[in-house]
Amino acid sequence: MSQLNPQQQAAVRYIDGPLLVLAGAGSGKTSVISNKISYLIETCNIAPRHIAAVTFTNKAAREMKQRVTGLLESKSAKGLTVSTFHNLGLNFIRSERKAFGFKAGFSIFDAEDSRTLIKELTVRDSDLDADHIDRIQHQISHWKNALESPERAFSKAESKGEQAIALIYRRYCEALRAYNAVDFDDLIMLPVTLLQTDGEIRRRWQAKLHYLLVDEYQDTNAAQYELIRLLSGDRNAITVVGDDDQSIYAWRGARPENMAQLKTDFPDLQVIKLEQNYRSTARILDAANSLIANNPHLFEKSLWSDLGFGDPIRLTRCANEEAEAEHVVNEILNMRIEKRCHFRDFAVLYRGNHQARILEMKLQSQGVPYQLSGGTSFFSRTEIKDIMGYLRLMVNPDDDNALLRIINTPRRGIGAATLEKLGAYANRREISLYAAIGEFGMQETLTPQQQEPLEHFKLWFDRVTGNCLSGEPISALREMLDDIDYQGWLYQNTSSDSVAENRMRNIHLLFEQLARTIDDAEQADSLDADGSRAIESAIAKLVVRDLLDRQEEESANDKVQLMTLHASKGLEFPHVFMIGMEEALLPHRSSIEEGNIEEERRLTYVGVTRARQTLNMTLAGKRRQYGETSATIPSRFLDEIPEHHMERYGFGDSTPEQQKQRGKESLDSLKELFA
C-alpha cells in the first residue's frame, strides 16, 4: 500500500459506493485492482469467496490472481474469484444448469463450430445464399451481445433480408438447444437472461457477491455490462477500472459509452483519475497526450511522468515496404549494441497481420530471433479441434457437430451418403446422430456396407467413453489415440514430418492441460454442486482456453516481439517500432470510409504508449498493394504529434540544422511543461 501514490491509495480505500477508476496507460491499474482485493480481504475482512474480479483474458486473470496471492499476508485467497467474463458465465451456467435445462457435459461451440452450424442451417434454406454466412454469424453474435432475442430481432428487422437472418437466428438457438450446447456469446447472455427473470437465483447470486471489480471496463459490451449490473445488485459495491482512450474493440461490440452510462445508472458514482505514468518518458507521453487530444473526451485526463524527457521520436520515411522492413531490422541491430539491450526489449507494432510477412523475411535473413504473436490460436488448430471433438462427444452425445467432425477422422469409410441418411433419420425421430446409430429404423435405410462401420464406431466409442469416465481418463485417451492411430493419420496427412511431430506435441500438451484441469475441478467444490463429473467440467473449461498464453510465456526468450497494435494493448517494451504510418493503413482505409477515425487514433495512442524509452515510427513512400505500386500519404496522426518531439529522416525537407533547432525548442517546451 505504501508503494502506491495518493490517487491509487484513494482508489483502493474507497469502498463506500460505486467507483470508476480512470486509469491512463501505464498508470498502475493492475496494482490498484490487486491491492484493492487484498485490502478488502485483509483490512475490510470480506471473505474471499464474496469477492469477484473480472477480466477479459485468461492471462490478465492469472496475473491478477498471482499478484493478489503475493500481496496477502495473514489470509489466504481461497475461494476468491478472479476470472474472465466468459469463465464466470460458464461457472454460472454450470451451477444453474438445471434451471437452464442443460444436460451435464454440455458443449461449448467456438466461432468455427457456430459457423459450421449456421452453414448447415442456411444450406437447407434455399432462398439464402451461402456466401452470407459470415454476415449472418456476425449479426447473430451482435444480437446476442445486445441481448436481443430471436423474436425481438425479427420484429425489429427493417428489411426482408434482416427478417430472414432473424429466422436463422431462431433456428440456430433451437439447434444449439438440441445439441445440448452453448456458444461463446451464450456464456454471457444466458446468465443475464436468467438473472433477469428468476428473482430467487438473482438474490442468491447477489447475496454471494459482496464486492465486484472489473478490469478493462471500456471493453465491455451491453451483455457484459448488464451482467455486472445484475450481479452487483443494489449493494453497489463495485469498482471498475478502464481507459476510454484505449477502447479499440468497438468493432466487436465493446461499448466505451458504458463508462458514461455508469454515471446515470449509479448516481453516487465516484471517479478517481490515475494520471501518473510509470512507464514512458515525458516526450512520449506528451506526444500521446497531444495525439489523443484530437478526440472528444468524456473525462479529461493528461498523463505525466517523472522518468525524464527521453529521446525524440524518430520518424523515418523509407522508399518502399521492403526498405522499411530492412530499416527496422538494421535499427534493431544497431540499437541493441548502442543501448546494450536484448532482442526481447524490442517490439514492432503494425496495423494488419500481413505487414509482418516482409518483416519476418528480413529478420530471418539477418538471423534475428523473433516471436510472432497472433496467428492461429491453439484451440483452432485442426488436431486440437479433432481431439476436442472426441472429448466433446464423450461427455455430450447430443453434440452432432462434434460427431460430424470426428466420425470420419481418421477415415472409417463413413461417407457423405451414409451421413445424409443418418441425418434424415435422426431428424425425423428428433434424436441426435449418435443416438440414431444402430436403431432398428436405421437399419432398413442403410446398406450393410454403410451400417457396419457406423455400428463398429459406436461400439468402440462407447467402450472408450466408459474407460475414460470411470478409470484414468488420460491413459484411456492415450489408448484411444493408439486405437485410431491418430499419429499415423497425422504423418500421412501433413506435408512434412516436423509438422506432424509438432501436432502430436500439441495433443500431448492438451492432455497435460486436461489432467491439470481435472485435478482443479476435483478440488473445487463450490460451483460444481450439480453432480457432474470432474472431466465434464474440465472439458468445458478447456474450451474457454487457458493454454495459449502459457505457451507464449514459455517461448518468450530473447526475441524481438512482432504483433498488431491491438495485440499490444496492456504490454510495454523499452523500444517500440510502429511501422506503416500511412493513410489507408493507419488509419485503415475501411475506417476512413466508415468515418471511424477516432478508434484508429486510439489505436495509435495505444501503440505510442507501449514505449518506455524510445519510439521509432516508419512509413514507406511507395507501397505495393493488390498488385500495383503506388505512392503513399503519411498518416494524419503524424501531424498530431508536436513537431518538436520528432526527428524526421528521409523527408528531404529538413536539414540537420533545422533538426537541431527543433530539438532545442522541444527541450524548452518540455522544461516549461515541468516548471
- Strand, helix or coil for residue 20: strand
Place of cell 493513410: 583
Nearer to DNA, 131 or 657 (CB): 131
Nearer to DNA, 360 or 572 (CB): 360
Burial 416-430 (b: 16+ CB within 10 A, else e): eebbebbeebbeeee
The amino acid at 100: F
The CA distances from residue 653 to 340, 393, 648, 656, in Å, are: 32, 66, 9, 10
Nearer to DNA, 563 or 578 (CB): 563
Please give the distance of CA 328 from its chain centroid, rounded to a whole number. Answer: 28
Q: Regarding beta strands 370-372 and 181-183, do their DSSP bridges make them parallel or antiparallel, or are they unpaired?
A: unpaired
What's the rounded Cα separation, in Å, for the pair 554 and 615? 27
Work out the burial of residue 443: count CB atoms within 10 Å of its CB; fewer than 13 is exposed, 13-18 middle, 19 or more buried. exposed
Nearer to DNA, 19 or 165 (CB): 165
Please give the distance of CA 187 from its chain centroid, rounded to a whole number. Answer: 14
Q: Tell me how far, at minimum, the Cβ of 589 lies from DNA, in Å.
A: 7
Q: Tell me how far, at minimum, the Cβ of 361 lies from DNA, in Å.
A: 11
Phi, psi of 623, rounded to the nearest 5 degrees:
-135, 140
Q: Decide if 517 is catalytic.
A: no
Q: Where do contacts with DNA occur on this chain (CB under 7 A)?
A: 56-59, 84, 86-87, 110-111, 130, 184, 248, 251-252, 351-354, 374, 377, 379, 408, 411, 413, 415-416, 544-545, 548-549, 563-564, 566-567, 588-591, 594, 624, 626-627
Q: Tell me how far, at minimum, the Cβ of 344 lies from DNA, in Å.
A: 19
As given in the structure block, the three cell numbers for residue 341 are 539491450
**The one catalytic residue among 55, 81, 84, 246:** 246
Q: Which residues contact 647 (CB under 8 A, 6 or more apart)?
A: 312, 313, 314, 315, 659, 662, 663
Nearer to DNA, 150 or 580 (CB): 580
Q: Tell me how far, at minimum, the Cβ of 546 lies from DNA, in Å.
A: 8
What's the rounded Cα separation, in Å, for the pair 534 and 519? 8
What's the rounded Cα separation, in Å, for the pair 321 and 356? 11
What does the H/E/C string look like for 319-362? EEHHHHHHHHHHHHHHHHHHCCCCHHHEEEEECCHHHHHHHHHH
Q: Decide if 30 is catalytic.
A: yes
What's the rounded Cα separation, in Å, for the pair 206 and 489? 51
Q: Tell me how far, at minimum, the Cβ of 29 lies from DNA, in Å.
A: 18
Q: Decide if 382 is catalytic.
A: no
Nearer to DNA, 447 or 470 (CB): 447
**The one catalytic residue among 113, 148, 183, 215:** 215
What's the rounded Cα separation, in Å, for the pair 469 and 472? 8
Nearer to DNA, 414 or 507 (CB): 414
Q: Tell me how far, at minimum, the Cβ of 413 lies from DNA, in Å.
A: 6
The CA distances from residue 266 to 20, 206, 216, 650, in Å, are: 10, 17, 18, 53
**The one catalytic residue among 9, 13, 30, 265:** 30
- Strand, helix or coil for residue 311: coil
* Consecutive H or E run containing 107: strand 107-109
Report whether 393 contacts 461 (CB < 8 A). yes
What's the rounded Cα separation, in Å, for the pair 579 and 564? 10
The CA distances from residue 23 to 80, 158, 211, 217, 648, in Å, are: 24, 40, 20, 10, 32
Nearer to DNA, 94 or 283 (CB): 94
As given in the structure block, the three cell numbers for residue 23 are 486509469
Q: Tell me how far, at minimum, the Cβ of 46 lies from DNA, in Å.
A: 26
Q: Decide if 553 is catalytic.
A: no
**The one catalytic residue among 183, 216, 243, 383:** 216
What's the rounded Cα separation, in Å, for the pair 115 and 132? 11
Report whether 515 contacts 474 (CB < 8 A). yes
Q: Decide if 246 is catalytic.
A: yes
Nearer to DNA, 157 or 548 (CB): 548
Q: Decide if 29 is catalytic.
A: yes
Nearer to DNA, 475 or 551 (CB): 551
Which of the residues are catalytic? Answer: 29-30, 215-216, 246, 610
